[in-house]
Amino acid sequence: MNIDWNLAVAVGMPVVTLFLGALINHLIDKRSKLIAHLGFISSHSLKPQADGKPGAIVNTHSVVIKNPGRKAAMNVRLGHHFLPDFNVYPDIQHEIRDLPGGGREIYFPKLIPKKEISINYLYFAPDTWDNINTHIESDEGAAKLVSVLLQPQPKPWVLKTIWFLIMSGIIVWLYFIFTFLRWTMS
């Protein structure tokens, strides 16, 4: 079986151009990307008091905000129905602002590229995590909320090998399809 190199080039060039264009776009596109996820949610029952009264229930959760983009995210705002005790890690410049509707927000003037911050909350029952946070946004728009699933991560070389095999398979199948179409039409 002889390989028709003109057909292989005709099929392969759009695929190569697609990935080359995506790579160039990734390298020259400088913008911020804001993603956020809940770090953990937990509840703790404190020991009963000496006089027999039941112990308090303390709830905690965290919100992790990350800028994986190539440009700083400006004016990042994290809104709250009400603002319980919290801390920001790592400790970066922030301020608390009152909102017109009665809520409050934590304001970060700038979140540099590749930076990740964690806002950890501590509050007492009956308040729960879903009644605290409202919005996460910056000048570029709302943050993308990501659901986090704990799972082992494959090694980078495994992912590259899988993608190489997928792309090789697609190119081979496209070659066979075009060869078959050419054969049936002649």
d(CA 171, CA 182): 16
The pLDDT value recorded for residue 77 is: 92
Neighbours of 101 (CB within 10 A): 8
Q: Which residue has the tokens 């057909």?
A: 7
CA distance 24 to 131: 43
Q: What residue ranges of the chain are covered by domains with CATH 2.60.40? A: 35-145
Q: What is the pLDDT of residue 1?
A: 58
Instruction: Residue 60: name the closest of 109, 114, 119, 2 by CA.
Output: 119
- What is the rounded distance in angstroms from the CA atom of residue 21 to the CA atom of residue 16? 8
Phi, psi of 67 (to 5 degrees): -115, 90
Q: Which residues of the chain have pLDDT under 70?
A: 1, 3, 149
Question: For residues 125 and 57, what is the distance between their CA atoms, to the nearest angstrom?
Answer: 6
Give me the residue label for tokens 């081979």. Answer: 172
- What does CATH list as the number for 35-145? 2.60.40
pTM: 0.65
Query: What's residue 168's pLDDT?
Result: 92
